């Protein structure tokens, strides 16, 4: 049996509005203006604490910003997060040919709630989120943990993601990868880490179904 692991943001779902709004609230909470949207979007896919640090928040203050972000995100995420075009089709078709999992740097609890709200959590046998591991992507631990839970064969496993972190994680974990252009990275960034880049997750699933 094949195994397909999906990233979430930019791969299956669009939560850009919720993410940007929550960053704005976090900065406002502490009396600062948020960075430009494009600066934030370039970092989506990294863990929140690292994103704030990369945006210049002092190390000792990062946790406060993360907590402020999460408090707001929890309230608005369902209303302002959507499956990407053909996201549902990708999940449904993938479920016919493989065991499915999610490997994300989002909080697992919020990710599960979102996928339940969208009616697709039932398709996934495992969800590995930020709090599920010590070392998030691009470290291989998240994929290795998913493989262990599913008792999956790495040689018959694919990771589908929209950032270099997804693809590096896959390579380090010894699984195949497919990059998608429906998210936050460019083709030139993705081709450095995988031999296969397609438009979206549905295209990726169609390729895997033929292998």
Name the residues annotated as catalytic: 7, 9
In this structure, the number of other CB atoms found within 10 A of the CB of residue 31 comes to: 6
Residues recorded for the chain: 211
Determine the Cα–Cα distance for residues 125 and 97; give it in Å rounded to an integer: 14
Q: Are 143 and 5 in contact (CB under 8 A)?
A: yes
DSSP reduced 3-state for 166: helix
Q: Are 131 and 107 in contact (CB under 8 A)?
A: yes
Determine the Cα–Cα distance for residues 145 and 68; give it in Å rounded to an integer: 29
């Amino acid at each position: 049996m094949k195994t397909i692991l999906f990233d979430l943001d930019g791969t299956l779902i669009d939560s850009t509005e919720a993410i940007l709004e929550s960053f704005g609230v976090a900065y406002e909470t502490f009396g600062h203006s948020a960075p430009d949207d494009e600066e934030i979007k370039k970092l989506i896919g990294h863990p929140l604490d690292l994103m704030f640090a990369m945006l210049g928040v002092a190390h000792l203050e990062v946790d406060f910003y993360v907590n402020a972000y999460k408090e707001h995100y929890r309230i608005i995420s369902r209303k302002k997060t959507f499956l990407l075009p053909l996201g549902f089709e990708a999940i449904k078709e993938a479920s016919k040919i493989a065991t499915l999992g999610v490997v994300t740097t989002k909080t697992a609890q919020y990710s599960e709630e979102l996928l339940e709200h969208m009616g697709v959590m039932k398709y996934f046998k495992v969800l590995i989120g930020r709090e599920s591991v010590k070392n998030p992507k691009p470290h291989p631990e998240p994929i290795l943990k998913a493989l262990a839970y599913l008792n999956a064969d790495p040689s018959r496993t694919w990771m589908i993601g929209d950032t270099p972190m997804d693809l590096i994680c896959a390579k380090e974990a010894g699984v195949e990868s497919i990059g998608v252009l429906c998210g936050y990275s460019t083709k030139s960034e993705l081709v450095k880490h995988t031999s296969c880049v397609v438009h979206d997750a549905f295209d990726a699933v169609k390729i895997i179904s033929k292998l």
